[in-house]
Structure 1
Amino acid sequence: MTRSPAAARSTSVYGWYVVFVCTAAYVLSFVDRQILSLLIGPIKADLGISDTAFALLHGFAFSLFYATLGIPVAGLSDRTSRPGVISAGIAVWSLATAACGLAASFAGLFAARIMVGAGEAALSPASYALINDLFPRERLGRAIGVYSLGSFFGAGLAFLAGGAVIAAVSGHGGLAIGPLHLRVWQACFILVGLPGMALAALVALTVRDPHRRTGEPVPGLGAVLTFLMRLRAIFGPHIFGYVMSGWALFATLAWAPAVLTRGYGFGTADAGFWLGLNAIFAGGGGAYASGWLLDRLARAGRADTTFLVGIVGGLGSAVSAILLALASRPVAGVLAMACLQFFSSFPITPSSALTQMVAPRTMRARISALLICGTGLIGAGLGTLLVGLLNDHLFTAPGGVVFSLAMIAGLGGAISAAILAAGCRPMRAWALAAGR
Structure 2
Amino acid sequence: MTATPPQRPADTNPPWPNPGYAWYVVVILLLAYTCSFIDRMILTLLVAPIRADLGISDTQMSLLVGFAFAVLYTLAGLPLGYVADRGNRKKLIMVGISLWSAMTAACGLAPNYALLFLARIGVGIGEATLSPAAYSLMSDYFPKDKLGRAVAVYSIGVPLGSGIALVLGGLIVTLATEAPAISLPGIGEAAPWRLVFFLVGLPGLAIALLMTTVREPFRRGLGQTQQAGTVRFRDAFTFVFSHGRTFVPLFAGLALYALVMYGQMTWIPTFFARTYAMAPASAGFYYGIILAISGAAGLILGGVLADHWFGKGKKDGHVLTILVAITGSAPFLIFGPQMPTPTLAFACIFIGQLVSAMYAGVAGASLQIITPNRYRGQVIALYFFTANMIGFGIGPTAVAMITDFGFGDDGALRHSLSLVAAIVLPVAIGSIMLSRAPFRGSVASLEAEDAALAT
TM-score of Structure 1 vs Structure 2, range by shorter chain? 0.7 to 0.9
- Asked if the contact 2:175–2:192 (Cα under 8 Å) also holds between the matched residues in 1, the reply is no
Query: Quick check: 1:192 aligned with 2:204?
Result: no
Q: 2:105 aligns with which of 98, 110, 119?
A: 98
Equivalent position to 1:353, from 365, 373, 395? 365
Is residue 55–residue 384 contact of structure 1 (8 Å, CA) maintained in 2? no
2:314 partner letter? R
Q: Contact 2:102–2:201 (CA<8 Å) still a contact in 1?
A: yes
Aligned twin of 1:127: 134
Q: What secondary structure, in the 3-state scheme, does the structure 2 residue paired with 1:271 have? A: helix
* Cα shift readout 1:262-303 (whole Å, capped 9, x = no counterpart): 443333432332122111111222222211211122133211
Alignment of 1:255 with 2:273, yes or no, is no
State the 1:92 CA deviation. 1.9
Partner deviation per Cα, 1:80-109 (whole Å, 9 max, x = no partner): 111111111112222232333455776555
CA pair 369-360 structure 1, distance change in 2 beyond 3 A: same
CA RMSD of aligned residues (A): 2.9
CA deviations over 1:332-351 (Å, ceiling 9, x no partner): 23223323433442322222
| TM-score for the superposition, normalised by structure 1 | 0.88
AA aligned to 1:415 is V
Matches of 1:61 and 1:156 in 2, distance apart?
A: 23
Match of 2:65 in 1: 58
- Is structure 2 residue 84 aligned with structure 1 residue 72? no
The whole-number CA distance in structure 2 between the counterparts of 1:105 and 1:327 is 44
Alpha-carbon distance, 1:114 to partner:
2.8
Residue of structure 1 in register with 2:159 after alignment: 152
Structure 1 position 272 matched with structure 2 position 284:
yes
Q: How far apart, CA to CA, are the structure 2 residues paired with 1:329 and 1:39? A: 29
Question: Does residue 305 of the first structure (1) align with residue 305 of the second (2)?
Answer: no
Shift of 1:315: 2.4
8 A contact 1:164–1:269 mirrored in 2: no
1:151 Cα deviation after fit: 0.9
Q: Partner of 2:218: helix, strand, or coil? A: coil
How many residue pairs were aligned?
429
Q: Is the contact made by 1:37 and 1:257 (CA closer than 8 Å) also made in structure 2?
A: no
Give, in angstroms, the shift of residue 331 of structure 1.
1.8
SS across alignment from 1:177: strand
The CA deviation at 1:408 is 3.1
How do 1:97-246 and structure 2 match up within 5 A? 97-102=104-109, 109-172=116-179, 175-178=181-184, 179-184=188-193, 186-203=194-211, 205-212=212-219, 216-246=228-258
- Of residues 15-24 and 242-251 in structure 1, the stretch that sits farther from structure 2 once superposed is 242-251
For residues 265 and 187 of structure 1, the distance between their equivalents in structure 2, rounded to whole angstroms, comes to 31
Q: Could you tell me which residue of structure 1 aligns to residue 4 of structure 2?
A: none
Report the equivalent of 1:15: 22
Correspondent of 2:383 among 323, 348, 371: 371
Q: CA–CA distance in 2 between the matches of 1:379 and 1:167? A: 31
Q: Secondary structure at the match of 1:69?
A: helix
Of stretches 369-378 and 193-202 in structure 1, the one that deviates more from structure 2 is: 193-202
Q: Is the contact made by 1:166 and 1:188 (CA closer than 8 Å) also made in structure 2? A: no
CA positional deviation for 1:377: 1.1
Contact 2:32 2:97 in 1 (8 A): yes
Task: Encode CA deviations 1:234-284: one digit per residue, 9 max, x unaligned.
Answer: 111121111212112322333333223344333343233212211111122
Return the TM-score normalized by structure 2: 0.84
User: Closer, same or farther in 2 for the Cα pair 1:297/1:196, shift >3 Å?
Assistant: same
Counterpart in the other structure of 2:427? 415
Letter in 2 for 1:376: N
Partners of 1:55 and 1:256 in 2: CA distance: 18
Q: Rate the CA distance shift 1:432–1:75 in 2: closer, same or farther, 3 A.
A: closer
Measured at CA, do residues 250 and 44 of structure 1 come closer, stay the same or move farther in structure 2, by a change above 3 Å? farther
Note if 1:84 corresponds to 2:88.
no
Q: Which moved more, 1:335-344 or 1:274-283?
A: 335-344
Question: What amino acid sits opposite 1:302 in the alignment?
Answer: K
2:42 to 14, 30, 35: 35
Matched to 2:200, the amino acid is V
Q: Which residue of 1 aligns with 2:297?
A: 285
Q: More deviation in 112-121 or 80-89?
A: 112-121
SS at structure 2 position matched to 1:133: helix
Change over 3 Å in CA distance of 1:59–1:321 after alignment to 2: farther
Distance 1:410 1:384 in 2: 15
- The DSSP-based 3-state class of the residue aligned with 2:142 is coil
Deviations 1:307-333 (A, max 9, x none): 222222222343222223312322223
Go from structure 1 to structure 2 and tell me whether the alpha carbon gap of 1:97 and 1:262 turns closer, same or farther (over 3 Å shift).
farther
Amino acid at match of 1:92: L
Equivalent pair of 1:131/1:144 in contact (CA under 8 Å) = yes
Q: Deviations over 1:180-238 (max 9, x none)?
A: 33254x443332122212212221x2112110599654411332222212211111112
8 Å contact 1:252–1:341 — kept in the other structure? no
Q: Supply the distance in 2 between the matched residues of 1:78 and 1:89 (Cα, whole angstroms).
A: 16
Distance, in Å, in 1 between the alignment partners of 2:71 and 2:405 is 24
The residue identity in structure 1 corresponding to 2:167 is: L
Q: Give the aligned partner of residue 453 of structure 2.
A: none
Partners of 1:78 and 1:218 within 8 A in 2: no
Q: Which moved more, 1:405-414 or 1:82-91?
A: 405-414
Q: Distance in 2 between matches of 1:43 and 1:263?
A: 27
| Cα distance change, pair 48–324 in 1 and its aligned pair in 2 (3 A) | farther
- 1:267 to 1:181, Cα distance in 2 relative to 1, 3 A: farther
Q: Which runs of 5+ in 1 are unaligned?
A: none
Percentage of matched positions with identical amino acids: 33
Point out the structure with max Rg over C-alpha. 2
The amino acid of 1:388's aligned partner reads: A
